[in-house]
Chain A
Amino acid sequence: MKWVSKKVAILGSHAVGKTSLINQFIYNKFPENYLTTIGLKVDKKTVETDDYQLDMVIWDIAGQDNMAKVPQYYLNGCSGIIFVLDLTRPPTYESVQIQLERIQKITGKDIDILVAGNKSDLLTEAEIEKVRSQISVELDMVTSAKYGENVEELFLILAKKLIKRESQKA
């Protein structure tokens, strides 16, 4: 089994559930009270997939409404990004396409970016579909950090993309 380490950043507006997604993925925990993140927190989880042992070093970066304001040095050397939006709050997804372009301007295009719509537990299926139709980009995953729905799947999709890119380099 080959070993590889990749830096992954979680981005999005404030209070969309970035930290909760990470806590659910790494520790299977969901803190009920919202506590804002400042600066960053770095965590690591090792996943095994496609003959690779992948250390995902996850940078939980404080929420920003404008991705152009994310310090470049937070994203240097990043291989993957999960952009999180809150399905219940239009301001967090109305400009998603512009925000993704801003991220790519910082990171360059040689990077895997997934878009996750979080807090699905607060909406019905019909409401989620309505929100999907209002978002200008395709959602890669609809998640509930609270109940752990699709959280592991979200990170594993990114892991597989990172491994695929790595194996193409080899």
Chain B
Amino acid sequence: MLTANRSQITIFERSGKFVESCNTIMDYQHLEGKSVFEHIPMLQSIAPSLSQLQMQDAPIYLPAVSEVKNSETYYVDYHIYNHPEQKDYLVLLAMDYSEMYKKLIALQQERNELMMKMETDIPDA
């Protein structure tokens, strides 16, 4: 079973207003009193879907999202779902799988380079 290096929970209102975050991976302290839709582009672009997310809906799952903090790249899986106790709140759960994804990138890179080499090696019919 895969284990995330770290995880972060961020809570915001359905309207986008930031409520709180444990700031484990990304530092969202500056979002105090602001809208996450204005400051987190990924959430901004799916805001219409978020406003319609119902309690019984499956969480929105966005795997392997690349994030940069202090010039370092992290790869996180995002899950967005309704707060189980506060119906006006949504939860953004980020799970840091950087270690695993960085290994995967190395493999993918090797595979892509091999495929490109094979494309050029194919003789004309």
Contacts and interface: CB of A to CB of B under 8 A. Distances in A.
A73 B57 CA distance: 14
Contacts of B56: none
Interface residues on A, range: 20 to 34
Contacts of B116: 15, 89
Interface stretch (A31-39, A103-111, A124-132, A162-170): A31-39
A25 interface: no
B62 interface: yes
A59 interface: yes
Dominant secondary structure at the B interface: helix
Contacts of A14: 112, 115
Interface stretch (A40-48, A114-122, A136-144): A40-48
Contact of A38 (B46, B62, B105, B113): B105
B30 to A, nearest CB: 16
Interface residues on B, range: 20 to 34
Contacts of A73: 60-62
B84 interface: no
A43 B66 CA distance: 10
Nearest to A55: B44
Interface in B94-122: 101, 104-105, 108-109, 112-113, 115-116, 119
A43 B115 CA distance: 28
B49 interface: yes
Contacts of B119: 89-91
A15 B112 contact: yes
Contacts of B46: 7, 76-77
B46 to A, nearest CB: 6
A38 B44 contact: no
B49 A76 contact: yes
A57 interface: yes
Given A36-B108, A73-B60, 19 more contacts: A5-B44, A15-B112, A35-B105, A36-B105, A36-B112, A37-B66, A38-B64, A38-B101, A38-B105, A39-B62, A39-B63, A39-B75, A39-B101, A40-B64, A42-B42, A42-B65, A73-B61, A73-B62, A89-B116
Interface of A: 5-7, 14-15, 34-44, 55, 57, 59, 62-63, 73-74, 76-77, 89-91
16 contacts: A6-B45, A14-B112, A15-B112, A15-B116, A36-B109, A37-B66, A38-B101, A38-B108, A39-B64, A39-B75, A40-B64, A40-B65, A42-B42, A42-B65, A59-B45, A76-B49
